[in-house]
């Protein structure tokens, strides 16, 4: 006997059939399965519209876990499906069911007159029918769950690669800003890489290709940095821009500190000695009076008599502010020793309100590299008139 059945009656019939066979003791939860399909919708070629239709059909199956050995057919009419799927149009519902079938998640069982109804046995129990059969979805449950685990692992790996590449781009940008040569082309490449990293459609192949490009850029830049840090015996020219301020007596403790500092070769001094461009620009880029540097003069009342002495003072004073020698070397490479002295004096005057002096110094150097004036207008970019 064949009869037409509403969604409400169908749920009751399926429940009765399941209870009589005791088949609800195992299986898979329908909503877990729907969540799995939703997470894999791009891989399966399913949109949000198809998910709403699938949810509507799952809602009329018997309560409890789903079993592949049982009929899992939805007999809802098209109008009822549209109502349960938040009022979508009839033609949209039809296309969505066709796409679900193409994705291998359902099978459309069509009767001769295109109506949906249940087929009962002699005892009046439903054993088959015409409608939307969700058995293919239930049968693929294990496959979909395993696919979801692989998908999550791949997404986690992608997120890790994105974070790693962003960190490497930041370090590469710092190296580029510290370069004495023209780094504009490299900075533009770094900006384009960051733009690509914001795309949500990136796959692991794209990230691996970008990592290889960054490797090549690092190989090109790092040897220059190492070359700039190599020691040489060349002495920098004497500074003519520093004027002697009023002579003041230095206490014994400060004298001892200066003697100890002179015995150590600073990385800042090495960088300046090995780079002739720095030595050349130190006397011409910024001209300062030692008396104008209030914070530095507090620690060192007498003006330095040579560029080497100034670099040693900058290294020592920078350590007081919590700055690493590498950051100070970048500052000297960018601003020269005069400019670095102005910048450190500026930071020292505001140190109480700066929670991260290291990061603050790097941000000022980046701003100067972009052509901005820093240190309260005292430092301007190279090639820009004050």
pLDDT 10s digits, 76-128: 888 888 888 888 888 998 999 999 999 999 998 888 777 887 777 777 777 77
pLDDT reading at 49 higher than 60? yes
How far, in Å, are 132, 152, 226, 237, 376 from residue 282 at the CA level?
Answer: 81, 55, 21, 9, 20
Tabulate helix, strand, coil % of the chain (nearest 5). 60, 5, 35
pLDDT reading at 224 higher than 60? no
Q: What is the pLDDT of residue 51?
A: 92
| pLDDT tens-digit series, residues 31-44 | 999 999 999 998 89
Q: What percent of the chain has pLDDT over 70?
A: 73
DSSP assigned state of 129: E
Q: Kindly write down the DSSP assignment for every residue of 254-288, as one continuous string.
A: HHHHHHHHHHS--HHHHHHHH-HHHHHHTTTS---
- For residues 273 and 280, the answer to whether their CB atoms sit within 8 Å is no
pLDDT reading at 188 higher than 80? yes
Residue 308 to residue 239: CA distance in whole angstroms: 9
Tokens 């519902």 belong to which residue? 93
**346: closest CA among 303, 296, 298, 310?**
296
How far, in Å, are 121, 238, 239, 304, 339 from residue 242 at the CA level?
Answer: 106, 10, 6, 8, 12
How far, in Å, are 39, 43, 153, 245, 384 from residue 202 at the CA level?
Answer: 17, 14, 15, 61, 40
| pLDDT tens-digit series, residues 326-373 | 888 888 888 888 888 898 989 998 888 888 888 888 888 888 888 888
pLDDT reading at 171 higher than 70? yes
How far, in Å, are 313, 315, 320, 364, 370 from residue 337 at the CA level?
Answer: 10, 11, 17, 16, 20
Residue 215: CB atoms within 10 A of its CB come to: 11
- Find the range with the poorest average confidence among 57-71, 84-98, 263-277, 366-380: 263-277
Residue 300 to residue 254: CA distance in whole angstroms: 8
Residue 323 to residue 92: CA distance in whole angstroms: 64
At residue 301 the predicted structure's pLDDT band, cuts being 50, 70 and 90, is confident
pLDDT reading at 228 higher than 50? no
pLDDT reading at 55 higher than 60? yes
Tokens 């898979």 belong to which residue? 28
Please give the helix or strand (H or E) that residue 128 lies within, else none.
strand 126-130
Q: Which is higher by pLDDT, 322 or 240?
A: 322
- List CB contacts of 373: < 8 A, sequence separation 6 or more: 379, 380, 381, 384
- For residues 88 and 82, the answer to whether their CB atoms sit within 8 Å is yes
Q: What is the pLDDT of residue 379?
A: 82
């Amino acid at each position: 006997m064949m009869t037409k059945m509403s969604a409400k009656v169908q749920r009751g019939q399926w429940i009765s059939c399941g209870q009589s066979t005791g088949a609800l003791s195992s299986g898979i939860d329908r909503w877990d399965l729907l969540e799995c399909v939703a997470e894999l919708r791009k891989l399966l070629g399913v949109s949000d519209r198809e998910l709403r239709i699938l949810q509507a059909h799952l809602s009329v199956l018997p309560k409890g876990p789903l079993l592949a050995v049982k009929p899992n057919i939805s007999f809802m009419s098209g109008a009822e499906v549209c109502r349960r799927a938040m009022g979508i149009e009839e033609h949209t519902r039809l296309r969505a069911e066709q796409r679900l079938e193409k994705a291998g998640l359902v099978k459309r069982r069509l009767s001769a007159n295109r109506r949906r109804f249940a087929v009962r046995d002699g005892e009046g129990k439903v054993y088959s029918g015409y409608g939307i059969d969700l058995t293919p979805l239930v049968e693929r449950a294990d496959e979909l769950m395993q696919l979801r685990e692989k998908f999550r692992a791949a997404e986690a790996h992608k997120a890790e690669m994105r974070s790693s590449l962003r960190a490497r781009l930041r370090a590469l940008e710092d190296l580029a800003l510290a370069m004495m040569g023209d780094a504009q082309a490299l900075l533009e490449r770094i900006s384009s890489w960051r733009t690509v990293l914001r795309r949500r459609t990136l796959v692991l192949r794209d990230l691996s290709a970008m990592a290889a490009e960054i490797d090549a850029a690092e190989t090109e830049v790092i040897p220059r940095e190492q070359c700039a840090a190599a020691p040489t015996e060349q002495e920098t020219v004497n500074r003519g821009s520093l004027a002697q301020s009023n002579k003041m007596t230095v206490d014994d403790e400060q004298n001892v500190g200066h003697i100890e500092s002179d015995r150590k070769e600073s990385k800042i001094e090495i960088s300046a000695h090995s780079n002739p461009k720095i030595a050349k620009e130190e006397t011409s880029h910024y001209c300062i009076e030692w008396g104008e540097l209030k914070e530095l003069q507090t620690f060192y009342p007498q003006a330095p008599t040579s560029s080497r002495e100034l670099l040693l003072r900058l290294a020592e004073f920078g350590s007081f502010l919590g700055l690493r020698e590498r950051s100070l070397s970048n500052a000297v490479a960018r601003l020269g020793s005069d400019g670095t002295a102005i910048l450190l004096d500026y930071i020292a005057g505001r140190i109480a309100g700066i929670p991260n002096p290291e990061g603050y110094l790097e941000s000022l150097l980046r701003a100067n590299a972009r052509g901005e004036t820093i240190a309260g207008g005292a430092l301007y970019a190279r090639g820009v008139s004050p």
